[in-house]
Amino acid sequence: PESADLLAAAKEFANDIVSGRAELKRPAQDFSGLDEVIATATKGVLKASRGRELPGPKYALQAIKEGLKVPIAEGLALEVECFMNVLKSPESRGMINTFFLKTYSDKPQTMIPKGFKTGSMNKFAVLGFGIMGRGIVVEILRRLQKPVVVKDLPAALEPGKAAVQKVLEGMAEKGRLAQPVDQLMKLIIPVSEWTDEFKDVDVVIEAVFEDPAVKDEVYRSLCGMVSENCILASNTSSLPVNLLAGSVKNPGRFAGIHFFSPVWKMELVEIIRGKETNEDTINNLIALAAALKKRPVVCNDNPGFVVNAMLFPYFIKTYELLAEGVSIESIDAAMMKFGLPVGPVRLTDEVGIDTSYLVLTKSLKRIAPPSLENVYKAGRLGRNKNGKGYYDKDGRVDPEVLPLINPDGKKAEYSETEIQQMLFTPFVVTGHELLEKKIIADPRLIDIGAIWGIGFPADKGGPMKWADLTGLSGKLYKKDFYK
């Protein structure tokens, strides 16, 4: 057969090469364009990393560029050297930690005690059809394909449905839905009054306006409509869960479940235990998070919970640096060089200057630094809200805001590293307080919250791991957070 002839010919050819009877002639490789290719690849890497020179891509490109120009033995030795440089880097240790955080949070069900039987989750209700309510509905339809009662004012229902449909259609175009969009949309049960549709609901997620009086009225009405076993969860981002629990009949079934926006893109969810929340409720919400493909961070009630609790001191320090005379550009640039997707001043603009001010002064009862208060009181709500913020509509720092931030015209300069240390030290201090006060049980959960909740760079491993790697935790507390 032909295969036998081919094998025999191959063996004969190999023997001729080994014995020296035949000389193997390879065409000469032309690497004249290699430097240009590497330069183009380097530009692409820097663009993807927002200008950060990460050791992995850097040394990979170096191994290719230099290794192809020398004999194979030298090239392999160079590759080993490059690999060891990457392996010993802080970024490598950070990425390894992030990998373990990912594998841990990939399976939230492992957080549930063995033998626990998850309650029924065949019908849901979402109260409030604004931005967060719509996102939660999208995820229930996309992941669970279960009926969901949606309650809001009549004028909000159709726009809400249209927004949900638009998101689902975008997912369908990418092949990310298990059922056709029209079938999923039929699972939405829109209501503007309390109806019998609530009687057999298993889980209610409340996402109404962040006002204790509004939520109090909602819960007092809701508790008369749902069963005693129905789980009630609030998507509040700023109100104490213990405060809201006072409006709930049988508060053991009540907890916080704080999604991040946009809900269908953000993997993190905080599950907040109130003083009276029972563990069955927490375990059921963990199971729900797992079904929704989220990474849950379970914590006890606390102002800002975990993620926002760490963000607030970060923003406060930002405003203090602005008032001191540090430029907006240098602060945002330092944070992006660190690896954050956006700097704190620009993020304030995007979230809303009014939102930041009200959360700080009303929810946290803190005095706002002048660099925030003056801007807010001047009617600048944020570039994305009324076109007036720290930045103008073209994305440049608005010169009109500078006298509001720093009326005395003070000037202060710090290096990128100094700015990074000053802004992230409060992160670490807050994380330590959360652990000491037993708000959260594990530094890994803090790092999961930071990486998947606010985009803390994966190569840093999370703020608590970063503190260990840089020696900050040892300097502050004489010990590492990770054992």
Mind listing the pLDDT tens digit for each residue in 54-102?
Answer: 999 999 999 999 999 888 999 999 999 999 999 999 999 999 999 999 9
Instruction: Say if 243 falls within a structural domain.
Output: yes
- Shared domain for 156 and 50, answered yes or no, is no
* pLDDT, averaged across the chain: 94
Distance CA 450, CA 90 (A): 18
Alpha helices per DSSP H over 325-369: 328-338, 344-351, 353-358
Instruction: Please give the pLDDT value at position 364.
Output: 72
pLDDT the model gives residue 27: 67
Domain-ending residue, one of 303, 323, 345: 303
Q: How confident is the model at residue 351 (pLDDT cuts 50, 70, 90)?
A: confident
Mean pLDDT of 241-259: 98
CB neighbour list of residue 260: distance below 8 Å, 6 or more residues apart: 266, 268, 269, 307, 453
Mean pLDDT of 179-194: 98
Find where tokens 């599950």 sit: 271
| Position 1 pLDDT exceeds 60 | no
Q: Are 302 and 312 in contact (CB under 8 A)?
A: no
- Sign of dihedral through CA atoms 369, 375, 380, 382? negative
pTM for the full predicted model? 0.90
303, 322, 347 - which closes a domain? 303
Residues 6+ apart with CB under 8 A from 7: none
Residue-range definition of the domain harbouring residue 332: 308-417
The reply to whether 273 and 343 lie within a common domain is no
Task: Tell me what pLDDT residue 473 has.
Answer: 97
Look up 258 and say whether it is catalytic.
Answer: yes
Question: Is residue 46, in this structure, part of any structural domain at all?
Answer: yes
In a domain, 276, yes or no: yes
For residue 251, being part of any structural domain is answered with yes
Residues 124, 373: Cα–Cα separation, whole Å: 41
Do 283 and 333 lie in one domain? The reply is: no
Q: Is residue 315 part of a domain?
A: yes
Considering the domain architecture, whether residues 147 and 170 belong to the same structural domain is answered as yes
Whether the Cβ atoms of residue 119 and residue 229 lie closer than 8 Å to each other: yes
Answer yes or no: do 282 and 350 share one domain.
Answer: no
pLDDT given at position 3: 66
The answer to whether residues 215 and 72 belong to one domain is: no
Same domain, 81 and 136: no
CATH code where residue 405 lies: 1.10.1040.50
Per-residue pLDDT of 307-330, as tens digits, reads: 999 998 999 999 999 999 999 999
Among residues 378, 397, 417, the one where a domain terminates is: 417
> pLDDT: is 3 or 357 the higher one?
357
In a domain, 83, yes or no: yes
Where residue 28 falls among pLDDT bands split at 50, 70, 90? low
Q: 């699972």: which residue's tokens?
A: 187
Q: Would you tell me how many other CB atoms lie within 10 Å of the CB of residue 258?
A: 25
Where residue 404 falls among pLDDT bands split at 50, 70, 90? very high
Task: Give the end-to-end CA distance of the chain in Å, rounded to a whole number.
Answer: 64
Total domains in the fold of the chain? 3
| Cα gap 236→36, rounded to integer Å | 53
User: Are 297 and 325 members of one domain?
Assistant: no
**Residue 431 clears pLDDT 80, i.e. is over it:** yes
CATH code of residue 246: 3.40.50.720
pLDDT band, residue 140 (cuts 50/70/90): very high
Q: Same domain for 336 and 296? A: no
Query: What pLDDT score was predicted for residue 146?
Result: 98
Asked, for residue 427, whether it belongs to a domain, the answer is no
User: Residue 458 falls within a domain, yes or no?
Assistant: no
Residues 287 and 201 in one domain: yes
Q: How confident is the model at residue 343 (pLDDT cuts 50, 70, 90)?
A: very high
pLDDT in tens, 99-131: 999 999 999 999 999 999 999 999 999 999 999
Q: Choosing from 258, 380, 383, 465, which is the catalytic residue?
A: 258
Instruction: Let me know whether 73 and 134 are in one domain.
Output: no
* pLDDT tens profile 252-308: 999 999 999 999 999 999 999 999 999 999 999 999 999 999 999 999 999 999 999
State whether 293 and 331 are in the same domain: no
